[in-house]
Structure 1
Amino acid sequence: MDINGKGDSVDELKGLRITNLDDDDDENIAVDEDDNGEDEDDDDEEEQESVILGFIEKPEHSWSLLRQQFPSKAGGVPAWLDPDNLPTGMTCVCDACGEPLQFLLQVYAPLVEKDSTFHRTLFVFMCLSMKCLLRDQHEQWKRHPDKQSRSVKVFRCQLPRANSFYSSKPPEGNATDKPLTPGAPLCNWCGTWKGDKFCSSCKVARYCSQKHQVMHWRAGHKLECQQLSLSPQSSDSNACHGGVAQIKAPKVASKSLWPEYEMKNEHESEYDTEMSGDEEHTDNSLIPRNKVDDTMKSLMDTFEGDGDKKSWASFQERIGKAPEQVLRYCRSAGSKPLWPILGGRPSKADIPICGYCGGHLCFEFQILPQLLYYFGVKNDAESLDWATIAVYTCEASCEGVGYKQEFAWVQLGTAINCPS
């Protein structure tokens, strides 16, 4: 089932299929405890996969990123698919430092195999601390611990066409589209997680955590609090307006969120010719082509081994066809990430099974470090950085209410890729 009117980007993702593995393939993906990395022989096979590239650009209209438009986006706040049954508790914070995680990006990736995945979105969050990311990268080498300690978390949400949040009709693709329900109130500081805590004074401002309440208080809510407590506005104003408040993007007090972008999709095959890469797409780049090339080349100097240099050269050659890409999507049987370097790649045994249905996880997409340049992240030792983040999801996209946590594998530089 297609959502007519959503544009080519959704149609492309809706056209992706999950191919059922036959008996022979099932034997091939059996866990091998002695496997130290993905087979290099599979690299040529991955070259043949149909990959969809994600590019980001400033949205022409703010309403295009609201949840009723089913967007793919990066930065800002998430456009939650299920606006009521949001992740809560410890799933919302970094397991290393306890800080609430920040929204990185979301990918609208419906699957046509069953009605329950008519709408389907994957959300990626991460801690802002590079120290936590380093710890996360080491923790993932502990094969399937009872309690994971992660600073990068992925959530999957899916809905059937007939649901209580959206019309079964395709969106008009303009400002007239409205959700059926207002959704749960969100944190006034981060605009990301459910605001299930009230300001004890005004009883109006909501927060996802005590930390964000303190940060909001210090940033100016202390002065606003008395006015809010005397105002007739209530904490249930969203519900009273029948969802009208949800038509506009939420106001967020935090100044540390990453800038918000809309994500557009294009098939990698469109960049196979030099003409398409050089003439059609360069003008839309937010980063000068020569700056991207210089940065990619400078990273080569950080690799000591010839194997990593060769792997990086191959990676750069393929990425260089469209250097502005920030995401590579390919959810098909046997698909694999395009690894920048040899070290730090997971073996089949390193990828856990689904924590909900016990089935296999499959690779779905990877996030490239170019995204950090769009976000204005500084290039220093303390700033966030990665070689790639590969996201694995339940192969069956198992059903359930709300959000299910999936698995992300972080590949960093060669000096920190081996488990301690």
Structure 2
Amino acid sequence: MNNKEEIVLGYLEQADDILNADDELPSYANGLPYFLENEDKFESIKCTKCGNQMKLLLQIYAPLNNKHASYREIYVFLCLNEQCSKHNSSVRVFRMQSSQKPQLFQSKNKDYILSPSNKQFIIDTEIISAKENNNEFQVAEELLPTNQEDEDKDVDLKNVKFDNENKIYENYLKSTEEKEDIEDIDGLEKDQQNNIDGCFLIYQHFLTQYQNHVVRYCFDSQSKPLWFSDKKQPQIESKCPHCKKNKIFEFQINNSILTYFPELYNLEWGALYVYSCPSSCSVGGQILIEETVYAHSDEQEFISPNLKVDPDTKLVTIKQDTNKANKQKQQIQQQQQQQIQQKIDEQDEEDDW
């Protein structure tokens, strides 16, 4: 799964039995976690702020080519306490791994279940190539606002793999800086020009094009996240506390997953970004190893305690929108959605011909 030529997309599919005989280890949402060791050997996962039992959001089977991690599970836990939802303690990510096919131990702690009234979901996967990924970014790029001077400038994405996101973001940010010099534009049109979120537009395009996938996985040193918003991005500098290597982006969980569970409606993040040790190093005597998670939205940003960022980056920005601003924001997002759908329809018509 860590082939830099591929991105793995994950979708939730309802299932009566999450243990599929064709899969070596499970990947699913909502249910009791399956650990690779008996849970009597380690403490239950609790929120470091309120001390409440955390809920299992996802369990992902993510084996690596490393012998010691040829069987590897990633666990994403949430605290549903509303008071904790705005703090970095509300999301925790752990990995558990083995060099040999392990025996699975289903937890007996029913407090791990996220939504008792909801069914379980297996994570069905789709693999897209780097070429497909770049093609989609070329379509998404055309949705970004440009000024007259930039219309003749082309962006060469043919030889770019997963870092094309950064090139598009840089071009977008450059165009918005130049637009600040444009003189008076009345009413909502001016607000739209100042508030269009390029990263969000690209993010929405991918969720629309790939039917609201909930996981985007690409564990490679060259891979980049699909950012939820174009607000100032943090310079992530997180080191593995064990081997001291810089952690790299492994996968993200999109906010499309919030629609599956009513328990999550109060959460304010737009996407979760998981950064892991590139070697998935083994730690003697430690069964559950905690990794780094960064939560990002257009309202608020927060990170896990072991994540270091550029000191000039503001990581907590909570803005209080007025009713007027909220209404304008909704109008902008509706117009963005219409642009996306129009572009998709045009592309479909071209494909038909």
Provide TM-score, normalisation by structure 2.
Answer: 0.61
Structure 1 contact 362–392 (Cα < 8 Å) conserved = yes
Which residue of 38, 42, 49 corresponds with 1:83? 38
Q: Deviations over 1:275-331 (max 9, x none)?
A: xxxxxxxxxxxxxxxxxxxxxxxxxxxx98846522211221222211320000001
Give the superposition deviation at 1:414: 3.5
* Residue aligning to 1:158: 97
**Distance (Å, rounded) in 1 between the aligned partners of 2:241 and 2:25:** 26
Q: 1:341 to 1:402 in 2, by over 3 A?
A: same
Alignment of 1:388-403 (within 5 A): 388-400=271-283, 401-403=286-288
Structure 1 unmatched ranges of 5 or more: 1-12, 19-48, 137-149, 167-178, 193-251, 275-302
Q: Deviations over 1:87-124 (max 9, x none)?
A: 416xx211222111100001111111x22111011110
Which residue of 276, 287, 292 corresponds with 1:407? 292
Q: Deviations over 1:194-245 (max 9, x none)?
A: xxxxxxxxxxxxxxxxxxxxxxxxxxxxxxxxxxxxxxxxxxxxxxxxxxxx
Give the superposition deviation at 1:416: 5.8
**Distance (Å, rounded) in 2 between the aligned partners of 1:395 and 1:85:** 28
In structure 1, what residue type is equivalent to 2:280? S
* Residue aligning to 1:104: 57
Structure 2 unmatched ranges of 5 or more: 137-190, 303-313, 317-353
Identical columns (%) = 26
Are 1:262 and 2:145 counterparts? Answer: no
**Distance (Å, rounded) in 1 between the aligned partners of 2:212 and 2:269:** 16
Are 1:362 and 2:314 counterparts? Answer: no
In structure 1, what residue type is equivalent to 2:277? C
In structure 1, what residue type is equivalent to 2:47? C
Q: 1:319 to 1:115 in 2, by over 3 A?
A: same
* Residue aligning to 1:386: 269
Name the Cα RMSD after superposition. 3.2
Q: 1:184 to 1:312 in 2, by over 3 A?
A: closer
Query: Number of residue pairs matched?
Result: 247
Structure 2 contact 115–261 (Cα < 8 Å) conserved = no
In structure 2, what residue type is equivalent to 1:354? C
In structure 1, what residue type is equivalent to 2:12? I
* Residue aligning to 2:345: none
Q: Deviations over 1:177-210 (max 9, x none)?
A: xx6xxx48632x42x4xxxxxxxxxxxxxxxxxx
Q: Please state whether the residue corresponding to 1:408 is helix, strand or coil.
A: strand
Give the superposition deviation at 1:363: 0.5
Q: Please state whether the residue corresponding to 1:88 is helix, strand or coil.
A: coil
Q: 1:376 to 1:84 in 2, by over 3 A?
A: closer
Structure 1 contact 127–151 (Cα < 8 Å) conserved = yes
Are 1:119 and 2:71 counterparts? Answer: yes
Structure 1 contact 344–412 (Cα < 8 Å) conserved = no
Q: Please state whether the residue corresponding to 2:9 is helix, strand or coil.
A: strand
Higher strand share: 2
**Distance (Å, rounded) in 2 between the aligned partners of 1:55 and 1:343:** 27
Q: 1:55 to 1:271 in 2, by over 3 A?
A: farther
Structure 2 contact 18–120 (Cα < 8 Å) conserved = no
Q: 1:60 to 1:407 in 2, by over 3 A?
A: same
**Distance (Å, rounded) in 2 between the aligned partners of 1:319 and 1:398:** 33
Q: 1:124 to 1:415 in 2, by over 3 A?
A: closer
Which residue of 61, 64, 72 corresponds with 2:17? 61
Q: Deviations over 1:256-278 (max 9, x none)?
A: 4764210011013497799xxxx
Structure 1 contact 312–340 (Cα < 8 Å) conserved = yes
Structure 1 contact 85–402 (Cα < 8 Å) conserved = no
Q: Deviations over 1:43-69 (max 9, x none)?
A: xxxxxx621100110125354399x94
Structure 1 contact 102–257 (Cα < 8 Å) conserved = no
**Distance (Å, rounded) in 2 between the aligned partners of 1:360 and 1:328:** 21
Q: 1:317 to 1:151 in 2, by over 3 A?
A: same
Q: 1:55 to 1:157 in 2, by over 3 A?
A: same
**Distance (Å, rounded) in 2 between the aligned partners of 1:413 and 1:85:** 40
Q: 1:128 to 1:361 in 2, by over 3 A?
A: same
